[in-house]
Structure 1
Amino acid sequence: MRRRTDPALARDNRGIGSRTVGAVAEISRRTARNGKSGTTARNGDWPPRVVMRRAGGLRTLEAALIRSGLGPVAGVDEAGRGCCAGPLVVASCLLAPKAYDSLAGLDDSKKLTENERERLYPIITRRALAWQVVVIPAWEIDAIGIHVANIEGMRRAVAGLETRPGYVLTDGFRVPGISVPSLPVIGGDAAAACIAAASILAKVTRDRIMVEMDGALPGYGFATHKGYNTPEHLAALARLGPSEEHRRSWRNVRGLESDGTTGRVVADPAHAR
């Protein structure tokens, strides 16, 4: 079955690469006009460019935007995009300037240990100007597709912030429909502090959900692999069949079902090919 794609999502998704961060660069300023993101500013009184200075670390992008009057800056990231089970979790975070001093070790959540993420999580939630976490369940991912779910989750996460950002940095994807200027940053969770903070909020929240899910659905090992396609998870999936928390639109899940008694897995003829 062909999946319908929102035409707005088929547009240019190019962003700034992480290798650009830390070098002297210029970013064209974007602004929201008529409620749409990504349109070009036409007011001659606005600064036409944002200049990034060298050696700003994870604060390079945010500091450049704030210097140009575009703050406060929010970051958005997700966790669980590549999993075949469990929800997609999207978080947004708007860090206060003084919060950086207490966030030593802040980095892309994938580079941190579980203990490091758990240590940073309460600091981020206490020190952030605003933050929001959105959980998109497996059934919704199956209904609209993972990419559309990712974009929709980012929209919801930004809309849910109690403090309105002046600019939004997203990890990797252009997000149509955000009512403030935004920029996709490739590898953003390793390039901007606000995205790194959002990635930790999303990852910790999702991991906790998967641990709880392991208690409700024993046998799959969700507490260990968190729904990713590990050999242990795939073996359990073949043995037990998919649960209600598995994404039926995933190729390795589609076409499998349990007979409901012995756990024996049978193929669905509709997906036999």
Structure 2
Amino acid sequence: MAFVIRRAAGLYGYERALARAGFVRVAGADEAGRGACAGPLVAGACILGSRAIEGLDDSKKLTAPARERLYDIITKRAVAWSVVSISPAECDALGMHVANLEALRRAVWRLGVQPDFVLTDGFSVDGLGQPSLAMWKGDAVAASVAAASILAKVTRDRIMADYHADYPDYRFDVHKGYCTKLHQDALDAVGPCAIHRLKWDNVARTIRLGEL
């Protein structure tokens, strides 16, 4: 299948081109937390409505208040949306690449409306049941993927903020489980907790040090 995207088509260019080709309900899927060493991997999927959402962009380019505002708009206006979470233990068991594909697949499967076409960020995902296209930096170039990235990021940030109450030593409310110096200093001081991904090298190292 071939379709043409004009250079100046903007963030909604892929969805419009796919609609012209007969694929009206386009789902985007993206994840948050792949690079973290603690907390779940969260994936979002979204089929946007016909109205453009002002300010929609890759979640990484937005401030936290902007993401929260857009999350509320997306969940109200979307034709369908979903989020799924894969636990740290399952990430360890599957490996991060397989866990990432599984998260994207589950998010698309959970949509309440079946898409005609699926755009996935970064990786090709089999088993979706619909034609699909993997997009490099899809959250920056396709509206539905950008929306999915916001759903995943906001959901995961909220989960990690809640974990801060259970594990205050790690300051999950600040770094959200990513491998910052603040996080590593806490790991070195007190070792991993129940939501760490134990197969990550920096986490495994603290376990080995604790056993000496």
Match of residue 42 from structure 2: 89
TM-score (norm. length: structure 2) = 0.97
- Give SS of 1:248's match: coil
Q: Deviations over 1:205-251 (max 9, x none)?
A: 00000000000111000000000111000000000100010000100
**C-alpha contact 1:171 1:184 (8 A) present in aligned 2:** yes
Take 1:78 and 1:92, find their aligned partners in 2: how far apart are those partners? 9
| 1:50, distance to aligned residue in structure 2 (A) | 1.4
Q: Deviations over 1:178-210 (max 9, x none)?
A: 100000010000000000000000000000000
Tell me, which stretches of 5 or more residues in structure 2 are unaligned?
A: none
Q: Deviations over 1:54-92 (max 9, x none)?
A: 421001111000111012100000000000000000000
Task: Give 2:97's match in structure 1, choosing from 147, 150, 174.
Answer: 147
Match of residue 75 from structure 1: 28
TM-score (norm. length: structure 1) = 0.76
| 1:257, distance to aligned residue in structure 2 (A) | 3.3
Aligned residues: 212
Greater C-alpha Rg: 1
Give me the identity figure in percent.
Answer: 55
Residue identity opposite 1:83 in structure 2: A
* 1:62 maps onto 2:15 in alignment: yes
RMSD (CA atoms): 1.2
Match of residue 115 from structure 1: 65
* 1:205 maps onto 2:155 in alignment: yes
Match of residue 53 from structure 1: 6
Q: Which has the higher strand share?
A: 1
Misfit runs of 4+, over 4 Å? none
* 1:245 maps onto 2:189 in alignment: no
Take 2:151 and 2:80, find their aligned partners in 1: how far apart are those partners? 12
**C-alpha contact 1:255 1:267 (8 A) present in aligned 2:** no
* 1:266 maps onto 2:178 in alignment: no
Take 2:210 and 2:111, find their aligned partners in 1: how far apart are those partners? 45
Task: Give 2:181's match in structure 1, choosing from 205, 211, 231.
Answer: 231
Take 1:92 and 1:141, find their aligned partners in 2: how far apart are those partners? 19
Q: Deviations over 1:142-200 (max 9, x none)?
A: 01101100001111111111111000000010001110000001000000000000000
